[in-house]
């Protein structure tokens, strides 16, 4: 494992990427290309946001990202 790995900084970079995707505009394209661009931006945001929201643990050189994908009501019932 590289000693310079900063898991918190890595997660922050994913949060920053999610924010950047959400804030960027749509270039002047039309039709099917526009739809593909918007669909890709939606997927990129979801991927970056999920990783950015993960809880990271690093044990024995193994990085584990935990994502709770249950609805809020499911999380509260178990908490």
Q: Within a domain: residue 1?
A: no
Q: Give the bridge partners for 62, in sequence order.
A: 59
| Residues 4-32, mean pLDDT to the nearest whole number | 93
Q: Within a domain: residue 22?
A: yes
Higher pLDDT, 7 or 72: 7
Question: In which domain, by residue range, is 27 found?
Answer: 7-78
The per-residue pLDDT for range 28-61, each reduced to its tens digit, is 999 999 999 999 999 999 999 999 999 999 988 8
Q: Within a domain: residue 19?
A: yes
The per-residue pLDDT for range 52-75, each reduced to its tens digit, is 999 999 988 899 999 998 888 766
Q: Within a domain: residue 66?
A: yes
Q: Is the pLDDT of residue 16 over 80?
A: yes
Distance of alpha carbon 77 from alpha carbon 49, whole angstroms: 24
Q: Within a domain: residue 54?
A: yes
Number of domains in the chain: 1
Q: Within a domain: residue 2?
A: no
Q: Within a domain: residue 70?
A: yes
What is residue 72's predicted lDDT score, i.e. its pLDDT? 80
Would you say 68 and 75 are in contact if contact means Cβ atoms under 8 Å apart? yes
């Amino acid at each position: 494992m590289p000693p310079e790995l900063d898991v918190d900084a890595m997660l922050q970079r994913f949060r920053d990427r999610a924010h950047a995707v959400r804030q960027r505009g749509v270039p002047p394209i039309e039709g099917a290309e526009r739809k593909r661009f918007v669909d890709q931006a939606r997927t990129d945001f979801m991927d970056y946001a999920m990783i950015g929201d993960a809880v990271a643990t690093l044990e024995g050189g193994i990085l584990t990202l935990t994502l709770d994908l249950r609805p809020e009501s499911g999380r509260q019932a178990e908490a």
